[in-house]
Amino acid sequence: MKRQPNLFEAFSPIVVMLLLLAIGYGVYGFNPEPLLILASLYAGLIAVRLGLSWDDMMEGIQEKIKQAMPAILILISIGILIGTWMISGTIPMMIYYGLKMIDPSFIVLIAFVVSAIISIVTGTSWGSAGTVGVALMGIATGCTW
């Protein structure tokens, strides 16, 4: 029989995960992956204590992955795009010409306007930050104040 978790049962998996990572990874330098598996094991034990079956847990995991998949695919696509633009020289070219054309006193305004336009055109703020945003950060770093 399923029941609602109390406050301890709701927050303890997060606390256990943070403690495992802070002590295991931060203090002792263990790899974070086994620590996260231990935290997941603890969360699973809490779920069993609350009356959830293995199938219930798997359905919940599948539902959360299904909800997160569009964002994950966007991040993967942006990573591929940034890599290809770096290898092909697009971002270095944008930095080169940006340093020649942009007055350093207007870099913040230009970065805002260009990022906003690219976000509207492509439909993703992540994409604009990951593509022209990288070039604009390079330009801002290279600007002589």
Task: Read off the pLDDT of residues 97-114 as tens digits, 9 standing for 90 and up.
Answer: 999 998 889 999 999 999
What is the radius of gyration, based on Cα positions, of the chain? 23
**CA 34 vs CA 43, 55, 78: distances in Å:** 14, 23, 28
State the pLDDT at residue 32: 97
pLDDT at 145: 60
From 123, 118, 113, 117, select the one nearest 74 (Cα to Cα).
123
DSSP state of 105: G
Residues of the chain with pLDDT below 70 are: 144-145
pTM: 0.61
Model pLDDT, residue 15: 97
